[in-house]
Amino acid sequence: MTLPRPRWGKQLLFLGIMLLVAVAMSLLFYALLWKAGNLVDVPNLRIGFYNFCLWNESAGSLQCHQFPELEALGLPRLGLALARLCVYGALVLTVFVPLPLLLAHCNSSEGEWHLAVSFLAAASMLLAGGLGLFLSYTWKWITLSLLGPGFLALGAAQALLILLLIATAVFPQRAEERKRQPESC
């Protein structure tokens, strides 16, 4: 008589994936909501998805520019709107990842797992595309040394989304094994 083998490895992998999703969501919330999307926030410069403030020598303070002035500076309205849409869209898609993961884990459903994988893939592409687009437009005012915690959080979230995408793409084979042995959550 053989004893059943514990499924701790599968449970720990799933819990690790859910923990990484929570960390990625936290980083996105921190960068985009807590830091208001500001990638550079120093006393003489504030550049973010909704702020574009440059130091004004004559006034001795930051002067924030709006769209007619931004277009004169070479920042296209459509390009910045697309960058915003992509980055904040990545946040929204990441918020929807835990539910299909949990449902797939409990029901051993491969379709729900693939839905979570597609959400992660789309969120990763949107975040990379939006951040790259924004940086390409604002690079003449930004240097690497000026990028602050908001940028670091977005970069870490991007790395976690890629890691999660790889982990969840590998996991369905193990979900198929669970189909043969029906068990509850």
Write the pLDDT tens digit of every residue in 122-166: 999 999 999 999 999 988 888 888 888 999 999 999 999 999 999
Contacts of 149 (CB under 8 A, 6+ apart): 30, 31, 35
Look at residue 107 in the predicted model and tell me its pLDDT: 83
Look at residue 175 in the predicted model and tell me its pLDDT: 44
Look at residue 115 in the predicted model and tell me its pLDDT: 92
Just give the CATH number of 18-177.
1.20.140.150
What's the rounded Cα separation, in Å, for the pair 166 and 120?
Answer: 10
Residue spans of the domains in the chain: they are: 18-177
Residues of the chain with pLDDT under 70: 1-10, 171-185
